Amino acid sequence: MILHTEVSGSGEVLVFLHTALQTGKTELDLQNEYFKQNYKVVLPDLRGHGKSVAEDFSNYFMNSAKDLSETLDDLNVESAHIAGCSIGGLVALVFAKYYPDKVKSLIISGIIPEKPEDWYELNKEENENIARILENPEAVDYFNSIHKGNWRTVLSSTEDTDWYPFEETADLSMLNMPVLYIVGETNEHETIGALTYPKTNDNIHVSIISFAGHTAHLDQPEIYNRIVETFLEAE
């Protein structure tokens, strides 16, 4: 499917993929404003988010990667710099693995490289957080206002403890494009990748951002933007 996108700026194409339950427009304004001065910034709404209405959420990451490929084709973009965080980072990673010719460089954050020993407990806690969101009328009204489709279906997909694609995050050795792996220092499960990933692939660069967690681009946007800019200029 062709994803709804917001496009601004000119130059090489730089795609940013948002986190779960957000959209390109609601989450990535600071990145858009910063990078559109020198790049054509593309902000897609992932499958089931924002204006990218979908009914099928099976094999989510592979289908979302296919969506992104079809969207770039529709925009007449042969290849682009791809950046994403959390679910957006997972889609970006799968896209880079299966459509490498369309990726000039890859920037990922909010990724868990290895399945934590307490994964089931972590996933249970996350589902409890989701339940609280659904019980909050203001939160429900907000998500209803930014999503045209049934965003609750996206939420429910994480109830299955096997939803996370650890088989994809475990091995980045085959990536032949420049890769920047960004982590916030406070997320212990994600910082593991700062040690393990570069050992398997010389193309992988690492940046650990202080006073940041799972969403480093929101926690420390100025630092995140400068690091990404430096990476892109060096490649």
CATH code for the domain in which residue 225 is found: 3.40.50.1820
For residue 64, is pLDDT > 80? yes
Tell me whether residue 55 is in a domain.
yes
E-strand ranges in 50-153 read 80-85, 103-109
Please tell me the predicted confidence (pLDDT) of residue 173: 97
* Strand, helix or coil for residue 213: coil
- At 4-49, the pLDDT tens digits run 999 999 999 999 999 999 999 999 999 999 999 999 999 999 999 9
Is 33 part of any domain? yes
Judge whether 130 lies within some domain: no
What integer pLDDT is reported at residue 47 of this predicted model?
95
175 within a domain of the structure (yes/no): yes
User: pLDDT per residue over 68-120, tens digit each?
Assistant: 999 999 999 999 999 999 999 999 999 999 999 999 999 999 999 999 999 99
Eight-class DSSP state of 139: H
Task: Provide the domain count of the chain.
Answer: 1
Q: Which two tokens mark 212?
A: 């940041």
pLDDT greater than 80 at residue 154: yes
> Is 103 part of a structural domain of the chain?
yes
- For residue 220, pLDDT beyond 90: yes
* 116 and 90 Cβ atoms separated by less than 8 Å: no
Assign 147 to helix, strand or coil: coil
* Residue 212 maps to a domain: yes
Average pLDDT value over all residues in the chain: 95
- What is the structure's pLDDT at 133? 86
Whether residue 148 lies inside any domain: the answer is no
Range of the domain at 56: 5-114+166-234
Q: Say if 138 falls within a structural domain.
A: no
pTM of the predicted structure, to 2 decimals: 0.96
The model's pLDDT over 179-200, given as tens digits with 9 standing for 90+, comes to 999 999 999 999 999 999 999 9
Compute the distance between CA of residue 21 and CA of residue 170 in angstroms, rounded to an integer. 25
Query: Which candidate, 26, 28, 98, places its Cα nearest to that of 61?
Result: 98
Give the β-pairing of 40-44 and 5-8: antiparallel
